[in-house]
Structure 1
């Protein structure tokens, strides 16, 4: 019953005008990275409020919502799973279930906002004190969203002053052909550089000639203009 209620409330808050904008913004046209995705036109604040309202929804209901064709349903599901994960700090069984759901559902976690909003605090958080080999496996998959999850999840490690996985996964992805990966790599390198600029500079000095231009621009965004110009001139 609660699952049906959250579905109905999400649908009721939809806006055709916003849906049209979001469909364009998230590249849902033929041949684009979000091809076939369907938007209702619900805003993130609205989704968050509803997820909070239905926070006690069973995990299996969140999974059912994740398997919906509607983008906002999938976002709500991932937020619901993320909040349940965070509430279950002392329950490793529940956290493992949610982690496993995440890394086996990239058919449905299939746009950059879905990844970016949730992977750090599920995948990154789960692996923080565990073997991180799975991130390297995700980085070498052929699924774009698994690869983006691999690098963006390291944001959790960066927050705790750990940069090695960010640097190593960035190296793996430098030759990637998609700009969504270039942006994610540059973004995570920039996040590392916020905490230790020398770490970022050393990475740039080593890999500058292999880095896609987009990744480089994202990585050096916070540098002083003179330093940005220096790296862009190399």
Structure 2
């Protein structure tokens, strides 16, 4: 019988479309080193959901795959596994370590966004946030994106101190890969505590790019923008 990775590859091949491949290739960063076979995102997620219960030992093979769709299946499986509230701390640690130990392959913004909040953020919810601050100081913009995107889960739980500290640290980042999710984090923080967002804006507005400020103030009344 074919191994799980081969069967997942076959499932993706059976769902491929040349027209979809053209669309994906146009939006993949040229330096990503990735190819695509052309599978619609909904069908990629469906494939991941079908293989959600795969042993975690197979996921690194997906993350290191040459196709964008394979890597998206890999991070989606991590996310689906992380959604199980019955998962114990050791199980969350294994998901977190799989992500962190293979970050070199999680090298496109939507791979980060698909998995970082629940896989990284949820695991660190009751732990030291130092790994996020270490990522925020990384030379790699995609790792800095993981830092702020993982904090979305903390914000969702009403924990704003470290997400706002990360936003402060990354506010001047030279990459939009980072500053756009910073704006999103601030907007989400404002849903929890508008006063803290307004105080943050009053102190740091002068450092914020227009896109970041637009995202951060999207839900505020016009007189607060």
Q: TM-score normalized by structure 2?
A: 0.93
Deviation at 1:56, TM superposition (A): 2.2
Tell me what 1:66 maps to: 63
Give the secondary-structure state (helix, strand or coil) at the position aligned to 2:133. Answer: helix
Structure 1 unmatched ranges of 5 or more: 229-234
* Alpha-carbon contact 2:48-2:77 (below 8 Å) kept: yes
8 Å Cα contact 1:103-1:146 kept in structure 2: no
Counterpart residue number, 2:19: 17
Alignment of 1:176 onto 2:178: no
CA RMSD of the aligned region, Å? 1.6
Q: Which residue of 2 aligns with 1:81?
A: 78
Q: Please say if 1:128 is aligned against 2:102.
A: no
Structure 1 window deviating more from structure 2 (78-87 vs 169-178): it is 78-87
Give the distance between the partners of 1:95 and 1:106, measured in 2 at CA.
16
The structure 1 residue matched to 2:47, chosen from 50, 56, 64, is 50
Deviates more, 1:34-43 or 1:72-81: 34-43
What is the distance in 2 between the residues matched to 1:102 and 1:16? Answer: 30
Equivalent position SS for 2:122: helix
Contact 1:192–1:200 (8 Å) recurs in 2: yes
Deviation at 1:90, TM superposition (A): 4.2
**How much does 1:88 deviate?**
7.3
Contact 1:88 1:94 survives alignment (8 Å): no
Q: What does 1:123-162 align with in structure 2 at a 5 Å threshold?
A: 123-162=120-159
Matched residues in 2 for 1:178 and 1:162: separation?
26
Following superposition, the deviation at residue 66 of structure 1 comes to: 0.8
1:6 equivalent in structure 2: 8
Find the counterpart in structure 2 of residue 93 from structure 1. 90
Cα distance in 2 between the residues matched to 1:96 and 1:55? 17
Aligned residues: 223
Task: Please list the CA deviations of residues 153-195 of structure 1 after superposition, one character each: whole Å capped at 9, or x if unmatched.
Answer: 1111111111111110011111210112110100110011122
* Displacement after TM superposition at 1:78 (Å): 1.1
Contact persistence 1:138–1:147 (CA under 8 A): yes
Q: Partners of 1:133 and 1:200 in 2: how far apart?
A: 23
8 Å CA contact 2:32, 2:108 repeated in 1: no
TM-score between both structures, scaled by the size of structure 1 = 0.89
Cα distance in 2, alignment partners of residues 61 and 35 from structure 1: 22
Q: Matched residues in 2 for 1:214 and 1:37: separation?
A: 28
Contact 1:186 1:218 in 2 (8 A): yes
